[in-house]
Amino acid sequence: MLIDCDAVVRELWDFLDEELSGERIALIEAHVALCERCGPHVVFGRAFKAAVRTARDVAMAPAHLGPRVREALRAQGFSDPR
């Protein structure tokens, strides 16, 4: 079974989080190994996840920041998802 670029991009984050079946991961890996268009998406996704992990470990936001951000969003018309 072949997989196309659209499917790879749709499933990219589940793939990077290893939330797909082993068979589906293998199909995506095989496609990415041969596809010049999809390879950069995977490289970016992995780099993004690594940067988020690093940022999370290095700098935690102060406890008072969350409520302030939610209040600022409410003031701009966004609803609080909580």
pLDDT at 46: 95
Give me the residue label for tokens 């470990």. Answer: 57
- Whether 60 maps to a domain, the answer reads yes
- Whether 32 maps to a domain, the answer reads yes
pLDDT at 59: 66
pLDDT at 82: 56
**What's the total number of domains in the chain?**
1
- Whether 17 maps to a domain, the answer reads yes
Can you tell me the distance from the alpha carbon of 80 to that of 63, in angstroms, rounded to the nearest whole number?
Answer: 17
Strand runs (DSSP E) across 9-78, as ranges?
Answer: none
pLDDT at 52: 86
CATH at 29: 1.10.10
- Whether 21 maps to a domain, the answer reads yes
**What are the pLDDT tens digits along the chain (82 aa)?**
789 999 999 999 999 999 999 999 999 999 999 999 999 999 999 999 999 888 776 667 788 888 898 889 889 888 765 5
How big is the chain, counted in residues? 82
Letter string b/e over residues 34-66, b meaning 16 or more CB atoms within 10 A of that residue's CB: ebeebeebbeebeeeeeeeeeeeeeeeeeeeee
Q: Whole domain around residue 46: which residue ranges?
A: 5-75
